Amino acid sequence: AQSVTQLGSHVSVSEGALVLLRCNYSSSVPPYLFWYVQYPNQGLQLLLKYTSAATLVKGINGFEAEFKKSETSFHLTKPSAHMSDAAEYFCAVSERGSTLGRLYFGRGTQLTVWP
Amino acid sequence: ETGVTQSPTHLIKTRGQQVTLRCSSQSGHNTVSWYQQALGQGPQFIFQYYREEENGRGNFPPRFSGLQFPNYSSELNVNALELDDSALYLCASSFKTTGVNEQFFGPGTRLTVL
């Protein structure tokens, strides 16, 4: 079974500071990896995904994530935080080779951005 | 291109009642997955429907059931509601392929069970 750990349920940064949200996965085979963002009272929006090839993945809104197989990690970063980045972020995995495409989510990290 | 829509937005029920939640898939998608997101938690997979049949199921009891219609819209039915069923229910549609099945989420239905 797949599992996802997001370190830090809450992260606070100042506007303009680096954003780093951590995600580690547990799987014998590197899965597909995703980051989703959820704004209050809304559904999930895909930020970026890792499927194969390039280990550094660029997404929307200036976010990027790096897949590190040796560390089983897929941390999300953004060089300069903006007030509009305040939201909940979820890391998710799905099993490579499975046609089901079931997503396993972490518990989420609430990002607060201070002016 | 129409995105994933869900209805109703909010719903209040009492314990023991039954509820039906609805989802319309994104245009061109043939698969619908349902997730339950309890307060402060990540979404948990309930089940998936493909070609009008249940294609996979998470760790949820049989009182959670679903349907998929020929137009790929879907319903989630929950019988004998319990207080712990209070959650945001998310529908996600995708196009089933042999590669990564990227899922597109609707805005969710917030269910409160009193």
Closest alpha carbon within chain B to A32: B100
**Per-residue pLDDT tens digits for B56-71:** 999 999 999 999 999 8
CB contact under 8 A, B55 and A4: no
The per-residue b/e assignment along A20-34, b for 16 or more CB within 10 angstroms, e otherwise, is ebbbbbebeeebbbb
**Per-residue pLDDT tens digits for A64-77:** 999 999 999 999 99
Position B28 scores a pLDDT of: 86
Please report residues of B whose CB lies closer than 8 A to that of A94: 100-101
Please report residues of A whose CB lies closer than 8 A to that of B98: 99
Neighbours of A8 (CB within 10 A): 12
CB contact under 8 A, B43 and A43: no
